[in-house]
Structure 1
Amino acid sequence: MKPSLLILHGAIGASRQLRAIAAQLSAQYEVHLFDFPGHGGKELPEAPFSIKLFAEAALEYIQVHHLQQLTIFGYSMGGYVAMYLAKYHPQQIARIITLGTKFHWDEVTAAREIKMLDTAAITAKVPDFAAILADMHAPNDWKEVLQRTADMLTEMGKDNPLKPDDYKDIKTASLIMLGDRDKMVTLEETIATYKALPDAKMAVLPGTPHPVDKVTPSLLAFFLS
């Protein structure tokens, strides 16, 4: 029986963005692609978006599908959710792998990220991206997905769900990865998290920016093997 791999997408994204990566790993793992509530066409939840809400949804999926020998690969926000799960539900997870995850949040960081979620600016300046978001999240309104995400980031800026001291308690084997051309996540915060984790390795992916569609699937698969 193959070990399980659960793939978690990033903020304002969807699991379909990671299908090429999933295909590269299907020979080694029983691969599961997962959409967070309100993403990829999943029903918008009554509760606000939050890391806790997303983690609980992922945990329910893990339990319902009886995922065994589980590795979770989280891209960007998905990596943060994976770490949150490892903090509060370590018995469910054998290994965590993250890529391009922003671990440090404060009000200044949140404000900077929220600027990139301006729906009016996206519609006016990058209409192709707006169309992609509309298609990705249909039948939900992509603008509501972005607004709820902005609200979540505001709250994370006020009170980071995972504090720096939390990482020393996460004993799950972890691989923390960052693209060498990532302009959204700093090397400093990645190294700090890597050093705080008791059982972690770190990798820097060459020629790799932050957007998941710019990640080379075969390169990522090499590290996930």
Structure 2
Amino acid sequence: MILKHKNIAINYSVEGEGEAIVLLHGFLENLEMWNDLIPELSKNHQVICIDLLGHGKTESLGYVHTMEVMAEAVFAVLQHLKIETAKFVGHSMGGYVALALADQQPQLFEGLCLMNSTFEADTEERKVLRTRANEMAKTNYKNLIRMSFANLFAPESKVKFKDAFDAALKLALKTPLQGYIAAQEGMKQRPNRLKAFKAIKGQKLIVTGKKDSLINPKTLIPKIENTSIEHKEVSEGHMSHIENKSELTYILKHFIEK
């Protein structure tokens, strides 16, 4: 389905009935990443998936998509659907967007799961890498996507889950250059949002992958000790919905039904 927002198209889907669950995909992904999880999660809930700015069938708004601007687009969809409260699951960049939305509209949240995501800001080293990637993208985009996408998986997962890896890469390659650059620029600007995460009412959960090369649980977990934020670790890399699908499904079902 399409919603017009600031003169661009925002693509979203709705499945099932009941309490609302909002699923937000990550960088180089789109709402199709949730296809295998939706049948189970929508049995007793209304599951809303949204293509973030510059991804999937949602158009871009310039060359910098801050997490706040992405959150405004998500909120526009939820207002259109008359959603007053929901639980949110954000994969990687989707978690950053969810935290920005929690800063803007805290009353919306009944819970948030950061899935292979973090409340921390980019390190200076990471910002430099994003800047370099954006320069490289202008001349060698598809090869850059193939290289960076492969790094999201644990090494053995690319073989073990070859069909799913290939399908996800195919979707990643459809991400327009403008969407890629704008998201990278936006992620560079995001602040640390641990305070916003702690302030969310309801269940708060971080799911990390033991072999995730992007999100290091060893730096995150000490910062949530003695808080109401729970932590679950799965065995593989950054793409838990592919690499640890059955375990993740169990974790998310428990999260939304708790």
More strand by share: 2
Residue in 2 aligned with 1:219? 247
Q: Structure 1 length as normaliser, TM-score? A: 0.81
Identity %: 20
Q: CA deviation at 1:74?
A: 0.5
Alignment partners' CA distance in 1, 2:119 and 2:66 = 15
**Are 1:75 and 2:94 an aligned pair?**
no
Secondary structure of 1:175's counterpart equals: strand
Cα deviation digits, residues 59-117 of structure 1 (max 9, x gap): 11112112255111110111122122223312111111111113322321222355556
Residue in 2 aligned with 1:112? 129
Alignment partners' CA distance in 1, 2:49 and 2:195 = 30
Structure 1 residues 12, 201: CA separation in 2 closer, same or farther (over 3 Å shift)?
same
Q: For structure 2, list consecutive stretches of 5 or more residues without a partner in the other structure.
A: 1-16, 148-165, 254-258
Q: For structure 1, list consecutive stretches of 5 or more residues without a partner in the other structure.
A: none
Structure-to-structure mapping, 1:1-225, within 5 angstroms: 2-46=18-62, 48-67=64-83, 69-104=85-120, 105-115=122-132, 118-119=136-137, 120-121=139-140, 123-124=142-143, 126=146, 132-135=171-174, 137=175, 142-156=176-190, 160=191, 162-195=192-225, 198-205=227-234, 207-211=235-239, 214-225=242-253
Alignment partners' CA distance in 2, 1:215 and 1:7 = 18
Off by >6 Å, runs of 4+ in structure 1: 127-130
Alignment partners' CA distance in 1, 2:202 and 2:219 = 19
Alignment partners' CA distance in 1, 2:197 and 2:170 = 38
| Aligned residue type for 2:213 | K
